[in-house]
Amino acid sequence: IGSYLGWSAMFYFTGAVGLAWVFAFWLTVKDDPGQDPYISEQELKYIRDSIGNSETEFNSVPVKYPWKTIASSIPIWAIIVANFCNTWTHYTVLNQLPTYMNDVFGFDLKQNGLLTSLPYIMMGITMHFCGGLSDWLQNKNVLTTTQVRKLFICGAYIGQGTFLFLAGRSQTPQG
C-alpha cells in the first residue's frame, strides 16, 4: 500500500479497518445473551440453564479480591517482568525493523514491507503449530499444564531473543 499510495496511506488504511472492526463489533456483540436479537429462545434457555442469568446471579455477590496476596506473589512478578520484556522486544522489532532494514540494507518501502512482515507471519504459523502441540502434550500426559506453559513461554522468549540478536549481528554483502 505504502509503495503505491505513499506512506501515509498505510495509516489511513489500518485506521479505516480498525473503525470498521469497532463498528461491526459494536453491532454484533452484546453484554448479555438476552440482548442478542438473533438468539433463539432455545439457545437462550440452554445458556441460562448452563451458566445462570448473569443479570441476577453474578451481580448480587460482591467479589473480594486478594490484592495484597497478588501483589506480593513472586510468580506474579515473574510473569509481569517476563511479559514486559516480551512486549518491549515485540514493539522494538515492530517499530525499528523497517528503519533498520532501510538504513543498514538499503531496502526500499516495497521490499521492506515484505521482509518486516516475515516475523509476524512466522509468529502466526508458529502459534497455531505450538498450540496444537501443547494440547497434544497435555492430552497424552507427556507434560503437565505448568510444564507446557514454562516450556513454550521460555522457548518463545529464547527464540525471540536469538533472532533479535542475529538481526543485530547481520551484515550487508559488503561487510
Widest distance between CA atoms in the chain:
70
pLDDT digits (tens, 9 = 90+) for 11-20: 899 999 999 9
CB atoms inside a 10 Å sphere around CB 79: 12
Q: How far apart, in whole angstroms, are the C-alpha atoms of residue 98 and residue 108?
A: 9
Q: How far apart, in whole angstroms, are the C-alpha atoms of residue 170 and residue 107?
A: 14
Give the residue carrying C-alpha cell 510468580.
Answer: 75
pLDDT digits (tens, 9 = 90+) for 134-150: 999 999 999 999 999 99
- Say what the pTM is: 0.57
Give the residue carrying C-alpha cell 538504513.
Answer: 103
Reply yes or no on whether the pLDDT at 152 is more than 90: yes
Q: How does the average pLDDT of the chain come out, rounded?
A: 86
State the virtual CA torsion across 4, 7, 8, 11 in degrees, nearest 10: 100
